[in-house]
Homo-oligomer: A and B are copies of this chain.
Amino acid sequence: MSRTREGELAAQNMAAKAEEVALLLKTLSHPARLMIVCTLVDTELAVGELEAMLELHQPHLSQHLTVLRAARIVEPRRAGKQIYYRLTQAKAAELVGALHAIFCRRPE
């Protein structure tokens, strides 16, 4: 295979992967959504609990949860009047872990 043809393929593979990852980053690139995902990283929480912890207005929170649900980053479970959310994507959880390690560690 010619070198330029190889380059085209490499660019296309990279573009496909970049599109997938960029989409996830975009979904997480709002402070509220990032906080939601961070808060859910090691526990399931009801909407009302998130609301209290993050100090977000209810419809606003709900709208962001809708975005995260659509992206399949988060999944709801109904229990009576309340709806509990948890992370569903291992990769998203790993990413949050990495972000925490990079940006929230103590500066040496």
A26: which of B26, B53, B55 is its contact (CB, 8 Å)?
Answer: B26
> A92 — nearest CB in chain B belongs to which residue?
B102
Q: Which residues of B contact A55 (CB under 8 A)?
A: 8, 11, 15
Give the interface SS of chain A, mostly helix, strand, loop or mixed.
helix
A interface bracket (residues with beta carbon within 8 Å of B): 35 or more
Copies of this chain per assembly: 2
Among A16-24, A40-48, A73-81, the stretch that binds chain B is: A16-24
A22 to chain B, nearest CB (A): 4
Within 8 A of B (CB), among A76-108: 91, 94-95, 98-99, 101-104
Chain A interface (Cβ within 8 Å of chain B)?
A: 7-8, 10-11, 14-15, 17-23, 25-26, 28-35, 38, 52-55, 91, 94-95, 98-99, 101-104
